Amino acid sequence: MSAETKLIRALAEDLALEILASYSPEDSDGAEFTSLGQAFVYLQEHGEEPGPAFEELTKKVQSFAGSEAASDAEKDAQARSGGGR
């Protein structure tokens, strides 16, 4: 692993840890994921996997997005059936 790749991986881990510590699922909309996305693409292009904090953050974001989508679908179903009035 090149020095540049090591640095990017370390910075991505630090940023992921900061986001994990700072944001609850309810306010994760305020989190800035652009830099992490760019780091993920860079690491993939250089044959490296993200670190454990990055992976944990990814799972949490996916879980939150899935539960949010499920909640929206439930609200839509209730509204269609007249239960959301």
- Contacts of range 33-37, beta carbons closer than 8 Å, 24 or more positions apart: 33/61, 36/12
User: What's the pLDDT score for residue 82?
Assistant: 66
Residue scoring higher pLDDT (19 or 65) = 19
Domain range annotation of the chain:
3-81
Span 23-77, pLDDT tens digits = 776 666 666 677 778 888 888 898 888 888 888 888 877 776 666 555 555 666 6
Q: At 83, is the pLDDT very low, low, confident or very high (cuts 50, 70, 90)?
A: low
Q: What's the pTM? A: 0.55
